């Protein structure tokens, strides 16, 4: 028995001795357990131990958030607010409405939408009602919403958390609970116009967030399928080969090829033909060249995709975003529901990831994809009782990785992040002025001034000034017997230490003027 087995056994023995009826259905140890699985089992045992009362009847809590999740502290929230404001104003600039959907859906709603990733869905316990799952993305709930309300035209954004039981890599911004910021256009329109707007939006947002250089890869499911067909991939293997191609951003071609041949059963020949295509990158010119390709040009699907790609680039030209957009035949994207254009935005900068338990395949990788999306013309029809289709195209901004970068930036920067917007602290240098301080604070609140007052009867002036310096409050309104007698308030600038007597009637205006 190894050390870990011993730990588990000890925990079990400790538990068993405590109370007689203990249900341990999850104690399934095997030599094939990963470190992370063992962590989870240990956590569960500790939880159970705490539930049973722990040592000496005292409750022992496991003081942590659930695996792969995190709290946001006020500083992180200030950064988050800034990022959201940039994203939301972009969505609004493009005329989008917003909706919200519940955090859980009927389990059935999510079934059959995510291919191999379905195993990552969080289910709720059956507590005697409907069978429910936490949403895995915002796209499927959006499609369900459209079908349910018979909506055929909408441009909407939706910012909310989604849930995936994935292997977390938190320092690199991969969580089990994370935000998605989705923008989608639903409706029957002329080709490639909404698709181009989605790319324009990604471009605008990444530019405004000021995260350094980036590029946006574009491809089309029809081009991929046509390519697979002319390379000799059997129809039923299109989706699984697509998943393998999708790994090209993390794996070398040689390894991808191995998976195609050894695991997915393609011949070397077929794999090599795919290899030639997926190495191609370009712009409108590449689409034109491939339309002349002797093999691809014979495939209807591929031709439709390539013609649309040309059109897309002509619109991107008008939107002046072609400097960052690359037509890349290796872009595949994992999800089942895409039917046309697909895209993914990648930041050029890398985050130095500290060593993690999650395996060697994680190390030294770039931040990677921060936005992705595509066209999914069939998804709404899957929900409509009569199968009526509503063509859709959209993009999802992967906010967590962006947060990670912004947080690191904020940490290295000398500029202090303020977590409140307080304009003034109402203070006093003398004792027994609590009531006067509360009265003035209330007056300021009523006038719309952001004001604080320390919750002490007789705080020291020094501790009041310290509070301002720590939290970045720029002004102090100081009351004393003399000021009260004179009908003034001493207004102090925290940074410059200048003080000036302001008539009480002018105080609100003076504070507003100084904190514009």
Among 8, 12, 29, 40, binds a second copy (CB under 8 A): 40
Q: Does 323 bind a second copy (CB under 8 A)?
A: no
Q: Within 97-126, which residues bind a second copy (CB under 8 A)?
A: 97-109, 111-112, 122-126
Shortest distance (Å) from residue 240 CB to a second copy: 22
Among 213, 363, 416, 445, binds a second copy (CB under 8 A): 445
For residue 81, give both structure tokens. Answer: 């607010």
Q: Does 412 bind a second copy (CB under 8 A)?
A: no
The CA-CA-CA angle for residues 388, 118, 161, to 5°, reads 85
Q: Does 22 bind a second copy (CB under 8 A)?
A: no
Q: Within 61-100, which residues bind a second copy (CB under 8 A)?
A: 61-67, 69-74, 77, 80-81, 92-100
For residue 163, give both structure tokens. Answer: 């849930």
Nearest to 340 by CA among 315, 314, 306, 298: 306
- Bridging pattern class, strands 499-503 and 488-493: antiparallel
Q: Within 163-192, which residues bind a second copy (CB under 8 A)?
A: 163, 165, 177, 185, 187, 189-190
Among 113, 144, 172, 222, binds a second copy (CB under 8 A): 144
444 Cβ contact partners less than 8 Å away, ≥ 6 residues apart: 424, 426, 451, 477, 507, 508, 511
Q: Within 244-273, which residues bind a second copy (CB under 8 A)?
A: none
Q: Within 364-383, which residues bind a second copy (CB under 8 A)?
A: 382-383
Q: How many residues does the chain have?
A: 516
Cβ density class 3-28: b for 16+ within 10 Å, e for less: eeeeebeebbeebeeeeeeeeeeeee
Measured in whole angstroms, the distance separating CA 478 from the mean position of its chain's CA atoms is: 44
Q: Is 210 annotated as a binding residue?
A: no
Q: Mark the segment that binds a second copy (CB under 8 A) among 223-231, 236-244, 269-277, 452-460.
A: 452-460
Q: Does 292 bind a second copy (CB under 8 A)?
A: no
Strand order in the sheet with 369-375: 97-98, 154-163, 177-186, 392-398, 369-375, 341-347, 214-220, 325-328, 281-282
Q: What are phi and psi of 264, to 5 degrees?
A: -100, -5
Q: Within 328-367, which residues bind a second copy (CB under 8 A)?
A: none
Shortest distance (Å) from residue 100 CB to a second copy: 4
Nearest to 464 by CA among 449, 478, 445: 478
Q: Which is nearer to a second copy, 134 or 245 (CB)?
A: 134
461 Cβ contact partners less than 8 Å away, ≥ 6 residues apart: 427, 428, 429, 478
Shortest distance (Å) from residue 260 CB to a second copy: 30
Shortest distance (Å) from residue 299 CB to a second copy: 27
Q: Does 145 bind a second copy (CB under 8 A)?
A: yes
Inter-residue contact 383 to 144 (CB < 8 Å): yes
Residues annotated in a binding site for L-histidine = 137-139, 164, 180, 184, 333, 337-338
* Residues annotated in a binding site: 137-139, 164, 180, 184, 333, 337-338
């Amino acid at each position: 028995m190894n050390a870990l087995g011993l730990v588990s056994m000890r925990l079990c023995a400790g538990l068993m001795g405590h109370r007689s009826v203990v249900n341990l259905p999850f104690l399934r140890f095997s030599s094939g357990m990963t470190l992370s699985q063992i962590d989870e089992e240990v956590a569960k045992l500790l939880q159970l131990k705490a539930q049973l009362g722990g040592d000496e009847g005292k409750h022992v809590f496991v003081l942590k958030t659930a695996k792969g999740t995190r709290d946001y502290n006020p500083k992180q929230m200030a950064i988050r607010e800034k990022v959201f404001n940039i994203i939301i104003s972009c969505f609004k600039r493009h005329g989008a409405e917003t909706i919200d959907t519940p955090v859980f859906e009927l389990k059935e709603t999510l079934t059959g939408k995510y291919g191999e990733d379905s195993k990552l869905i969080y289910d709720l316990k059956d507590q005697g009602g409907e069978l429910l799952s936490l949403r895995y993305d915002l796209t499927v709930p959006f499609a369900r919403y459209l079908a349910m309300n018979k909506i055929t035209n909408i441009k909407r954004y939706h910012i909310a958390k989604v849930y995936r039981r994935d292997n977390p890599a938190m320092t690199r911004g991969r969580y089990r609970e994370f935000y998605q910021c989705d923008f989608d256009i639903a409706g029957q329109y002329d080709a490639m116009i909404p698709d181009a707007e989605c790319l324009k939006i990604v471009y605008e947002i990444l530019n405004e967030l000021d995260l350094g250089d980036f590029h946006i890869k574009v491809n089309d499911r029809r081009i991929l399928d046509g390519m697979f067909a002319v390379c000799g991939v059997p129809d039923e293997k299109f989706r699984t080969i697509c998943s393998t191609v999708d790994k090209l951003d993390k794996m070398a071609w040689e390894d991808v090829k191995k998976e195609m041949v050894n695991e997915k059963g393609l011949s070397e020949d077929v794999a090599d033909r795919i290899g030639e295509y997926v190495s191609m990158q370009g712009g409108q010119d590449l689409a034109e060249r491939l339309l002349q390709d002797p093999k691809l040009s014979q495939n209807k699907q591929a031709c439709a995709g390539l013609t649309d790609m040309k059109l897309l680039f002509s619109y991107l030209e008008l939107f002046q975003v072609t400097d960052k957009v690359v037509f890349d035949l290796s872009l595949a994207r994992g999800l089942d529901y895409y039917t046309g254009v697909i895209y993914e935005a990648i930041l050029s900068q890398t985050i130095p990831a500290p060593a993690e338990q999650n395996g060697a395949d994680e190390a030294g990788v770039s931040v990677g994809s921060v936005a992705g999306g595509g066209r999914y013309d069939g998804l709404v029809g899957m929900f409509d009782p009569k199968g009526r289709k509503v063509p859709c195209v959209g993009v999802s901004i992967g906010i967590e990785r962006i947060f990670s970068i912004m947080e690191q930036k904020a940490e290295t920067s000398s500029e202090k992040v303020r977590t409140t917007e307080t304009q003034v602290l109402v203070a006093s240098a003398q004792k027994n002025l609590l009531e006067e301080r509360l009265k003035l604070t209330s007056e300021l609140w009523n006038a719309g001034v952001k004001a604080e007052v320390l919750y002490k009867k007789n705080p020291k002036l020094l501790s009041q000034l310290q509070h301002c310096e720590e939290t970045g409050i720029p002004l102090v309104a100081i009351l004393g017997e003399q000021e009260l007698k004179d009908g003034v308030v001493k207004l102090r600038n925290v940074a410059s230490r200048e003080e000036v007597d302001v008539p009480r009637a002018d105080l609100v205006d003076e504070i507003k003027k100084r904190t514009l």
